[in-house]
């Protein structure tokens, strides 16, 4: 699989992982502990951090933000479905502060993990993907230059 072109099965897998994180996070977010007079929503914090770490790990390993965005989108879809109030009321994410902390912090941390720039030299291909010629291998030379056109398709540089 080329780094510049996404495999459909990988995209579907990232969407599924996002849905799974959304469903599990909705359940875990209810966990809390009483420390003195303060209630600590440790489940909401754990679920939010897990989402952010998962998004960042996907962006880091795939060297593209597309897969991370699909994972975050899967989380949004699953969480939105959980938020739909059933006739008996919403039990997973009730309208209480810990639910708002979970929803807000998880989305903000996930979005930050998605858009945070990769370190220099890691090969963040987001900008260079637009300059690649269709039919090329997607390789970037060590000097940072793109390889010469392969002769396949039009030269769009």
Burial 32-41 (b: 16+ CB within 10 A, else e): eeeeeeeeeb
Q: Residue 104's domain spans which residues?
A: 8-124
Residues in the chain, total: 157
At 60 the pLDDT is: 87
Same domain, 150 and 115: no
Please, what is the average pLDDT of the chain? 78
Q: Evaluate whether residue 98 is within a structural domain.
A: yes
Same domain, 111 and 75: yes
Q: Evaluate whether residue 1 is within a structural domain.
A: no
Identify which has the larger pLDDT, 136 or 121: 121
Instruction: Tell me how many degrees the CA angle 126-119-68 measures, rounded to the nearest 5.
Output: 50
Identify which has the larger pLDDT, 13 or 95: 13
Cβ atoms < 10 Å from Cβ of 13: 16
Residues contacting residue 99 through CB under 8 Å, at least 6 positions apart: 29, 44, 93
- For the segment 15-53, what is each residue's pLDDT rounded down to a tens digit? 999 999 999 999 998 888 999 998 888 999 999 999 999
Same domain, 119 and 138: no
At 130 the pLDDT is: 43
């Amino acid at each position: 699989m080329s780094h510049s072109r996404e495999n459909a099965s990988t995209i579907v897998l990232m969407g599924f992982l996002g849905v799974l994180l959304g469903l599990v996070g909705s359940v875990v977010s209810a966990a809390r502990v009483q420390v003195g007079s303060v209630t600590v929503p440790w489940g909401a914090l754990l679920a939010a951090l897990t989402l952010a770490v998962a998004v960042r790990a996907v962006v880091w390993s795939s060297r593209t933000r597309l897969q991370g965005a699909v994972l975050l989108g899967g989380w949004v879809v699953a969480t939105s479905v959980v938020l739909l109030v059933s006739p008996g009321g919403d039990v997973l994410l009730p309208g209480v502060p810990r639910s708002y902390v979970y929803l807000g912090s998880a989305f903000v941390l996930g979005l930050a993990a998605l858009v945070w720039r990769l370190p220099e030299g890691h090969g963040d291909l987001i900008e260079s993907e637009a300059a690649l010629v269709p039919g090329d291998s997607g390789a970037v030379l060590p000097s940072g230059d793109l390889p010469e056109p392969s002769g396949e398709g039009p030269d769009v540089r």
